[in-house]
Every structure is written in structure tokens, then in C-alpha cells.
Amino acid sequence: MTIVIGLTGGIGSGKSTISKYLGDLGATLIDADEVGHEVFKPGTPAYRDVVDAFGRGTLSPTGEVDRKKLGQIVFADPAKRDRLNRIMWSRIWEMITERIEDARKRNAPAVVVEAFGLIEAGWDKLVDEVWVVVVPEAMVVERLKKQRGLSEPDIIARIRSQVSNTERAKHADVVIQNDRAPEQVKGEVERLWGEVMARHRARAFGNRNDRIVPGK
């Protein structure tokens, strides 16, 4: 039996680092953002829908969707953001579902679906557990200034456009505070992974018992 973990958190929360830790421990990783890149490929239905909805000004010189340009448009306008979500979410759902099924066929012990919009898009219905990564807003601002060169007003606008940490935590089976030293966070992830693997073994053992026929 494959355990599916949905890993989510706000912009700048460091969920990709947590995902990497889990991958190093043996999890099969599915990055919804990478899946979104595939959905956006030129010639796909989503690509055509984005160009129709937001214009060719969202394209790079090579004709691909420029996610930075698109982000600037949708983060500033909730109606446009909702329109983009309607274009993307169902297609990403389908691709994530396919990858989870592939992992199950390979008898992978655990799959981690890393997704910024896990809860908003309803992708939490695809997973067994929801893990939420949280950090204080001030730390997010400083991280994104350094990592992405974004201005503080732009960062604040993006934070305000997303679900709050408090709301995400309502859906969480696990909350990871990612404002500590990396070795502390990594140690917690390793502990949580051990608990997941223990549950995996318990479920697998239970399934074997279910197949035992009394008297045989």
C-alpha cells in the first residue's frame, strides 16, 4: 500500500526543501508546479486557453507561457486568478492522479505531492495526509527579497492573495514550523518519515491478515 502525502505551504515557506528531505528518505516526489509547466506546453489545450484568456503578452520570445508575466497579471486581479485556476486545476489533477497510480503500480511506499494550491484546488482529496509548512510573514518577505529579487509590496500582495497559514493548518494532519535551524527541521522530517513508514508497515501487515482465511 502506498501512502500519499500532500505537502503544502505558502509562498516562501520552504516546502521544496522539505520535499527534498522526503525524497532523500525514499519518497516518490510529484511537484505540482512542474506538472503545471507540462500542462502549459505550447500546443496543449491549457496553453491555448491561457493565450485566449490573457493575450500573447504572457508569452516569452520563444513562444512559451512566461509564468512571471502571467503571475503579475493574476496576482493583482482575483477574477483573473480564478480564471487561470479554472483552466489549470482540473488538468493538473488528472496528471497528478496518473503519477500517483504509476507509483502505486511500482509499490512505492510513499508519494509526496508538493503543491502550493493543494487545499484551494481540492487536490487534498487525492492524498492520505496533509502536511503544511509554515513560517512567519516577516521571514517570507526577507527570503523572497533575497531569493527572487521581489519588492516588499509585491511579496505582501502575493501573501495576501493566498490562503493563510491558519486556514491551511485547519486541514493539516502535520504542521511543520520551518523557521528553525535547518538541522532541526530536517530532524523533525526524519522523525515524521519514520512514523509514516511505521504506518505503512502496519497497513501492509493488516492487509495480509485480511487475506488469511480461518482454518486454512
Q: What is the pLDDT of residues 95-131, one digit of tens each?
A: 999 999 999 999 999 999 999 999 999 999 999 999 9
Specify the fold of 3-210: Rossmann fold (3.40.50)
Asked if the model's pLDDT at residue 195 lies above 90, the reply is yes
Q: How far apart are CA 120 and CA 18, in angstroms?
A: 20
Q: How far apart are CA 109 and CA 180, in angstroms?
A: 28
Angle between helices 45-54 and 78-105 (to 10 degrees): 170
* Per-domain residue ranges of the chain: 3-210
- Its pTM stands at 0.86
